[in-house]
């Protein structure tokens, strides 16, 4: 499902951003979009959080759910 792939990609991007924060105290999203308080940064943080919540459902799906039948 395309939504699963998009959510997983956004979650990976968020994980990389958190890795940068943890290792180098560098927030890439804030740097690109004008700080943590900027509205666009907050929107991106929220979208990544929602993607992470969506990815929780991937843990509970069986492998048969991913198969598309026509």
State how far the Cα of 65 lies from the Cα of 11, in Å rounded to an integer. Answer: 21
pTM over 0.85: no
Specify if 11 maps to a domain: yes
Q: Is 55 exposed, middle or buried (0-12, 13-18, 19+ CB in 10 A)?
A: middle
Query: Number of folded domains in the chain?
Result: 1
Specify if 29 maps to a domain: yes
Specify if 68 maps to a domain: no
pLDDT at 67: 55
Specify if 44 maps to a domain: yes
Domain span including residue 59: 2-63
pLDDT digits (tens, 9 = 90+) for 15-40: 999 999 999 999 999 999 999 999 99
Specify if 70 maps to a domain: no
Specify if 57 maps to a domain: yes
Specify if 69 maps to a domain: no
Confidence class for position 62, pLDDT limits 50, 70, 90: confident
> Is 23 in contact with 57 (CB distance < 8 Å)?
no
Confidence class for position 55, pLDDT limits 50, 70, 90: very high
Give the number of residues written for the chain.
70
């Amino acid at each position: 499902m395309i939504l699963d792939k998009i959510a997983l990609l956004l979650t990976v991007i968020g994980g990389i951003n958190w890795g940068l924060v943890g290792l180098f105290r560098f927030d890439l999203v804030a740097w690109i979009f004008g700080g943590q308080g900027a509205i666009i940064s907050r929107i991106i943080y929220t979208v990544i959080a929602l993607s992470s919540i969506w990815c929780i459902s991937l843990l509970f799906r069986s492998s048969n759910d991913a198969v598309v039948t026509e």
